[in-house]
């Protein structure tokens, strides 16, 4: 996780350790999702459309497909083919804000199927609780002004914890901190 963050910092033209200051006593957590076999997969979703909100999500599965990514240009859902022994890396909301929209977190969902059960293990890196999340100063210029208001990660996290993912229309999301934009319904 730390090495990935170093590479991402370098890709933005920042020193490799630029994000370290936001990670003191920070929290990584893991979650295991179980998607049972479903006799009517066309009627249900394993996990509805959403964006991840922390820094990075690392995802491994039992190599049963199901993860779909929403292509921004036309809104089409694209199914990710599982690659054995690989890890899927999802850039999440905090990275979108830190990079001032250079990176964008992708809308994704999980579909189920009638043949195979599916497991996924998700490891999430979050900033330290007290961190105020805002675009990295070096990436903000007169030509590229800050696109987000700052927010405290801990408050954001707690607010999402108490909302149910199935009711994300009301849950807080990073676009709520986008400057010059009205609050839009989720995704």
The C-alpha R_g of the chain, in whole angstroms, comes to: 17
Is residue 171 near ligand AKG by the rule CB under 6 A? no
Strand partners, 108: 50, 69
User: Residues 24 to 53: which contact ligand AKG by CB under 6 A?
Assistant: 31, 33, 47, 52
For residue 112, the minimal CB distance to ligand AKG (Å) is 10
- The nearer residue to ligand AKG, 76 or 150, going by C-beta atoms, is 76
Report the distance separating Cα 1 and Cα 16, nearest Å. Answer: 13
Strand, coil or helix: what is 93?
Answer: helix
Which of ligand AKG, Fe ion, none does 120 bind, CB closer than 5 to 8 A by kind? ligand AKG
Centre a 10 Å sphere on the Cβ of residue 85 and count the other Cβ atoms it contains: 6
Is residue 68 near Fe ion by the rule CB under 5 A? no
Q: Write out the residues near Fe ion by the rule CB under 5 A.
A: 52
Q: Write out the residues near ligand AKG by the rule CB under 6 A.
A: 31, 33, 47, 52, 59, 61, 66-67, 108, 110, 120, 122
């Amino acid at each position: 996780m730390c090495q990935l963050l170093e590479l991402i910092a370098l890709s933005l033209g920042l020193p490799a350790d630029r994000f370290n200051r936001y990670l003191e006593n920070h929290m990584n957590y893991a979650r295991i999702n179980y998607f049972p076999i479903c006799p009517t997969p066309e009627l249900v979703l394993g996990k509805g459309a959403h964006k991840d909100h922390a820094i990075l999500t690392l995802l491994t599965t039992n190599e049963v497909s199901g993860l779909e990514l929403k292509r921004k240009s036309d809104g089409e859902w694209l199914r990710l083919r599982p690659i054995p022994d690989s890890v899927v890396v999802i850039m999440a909301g905090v990275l979108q804000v830190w990079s001032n929209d250079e990176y964008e977190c992708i809308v994704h969902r999980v579909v189920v199927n009638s043949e195979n059960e599916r497991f996924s293990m998700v490891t999430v890196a979050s900033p330290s609780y007290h961190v105020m999340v805002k675009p990295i100063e070096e990436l903000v210029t007169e030509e590229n002004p800050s696109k987000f208001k700052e927010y405290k990660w801990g408050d954001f996290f707690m607010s999402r914890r108490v909302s149910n993912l199935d009711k994300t229309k009301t849950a807080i999301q990073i676009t709520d901190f986008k400057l010059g934009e009205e609050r839009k319904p989720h995704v």
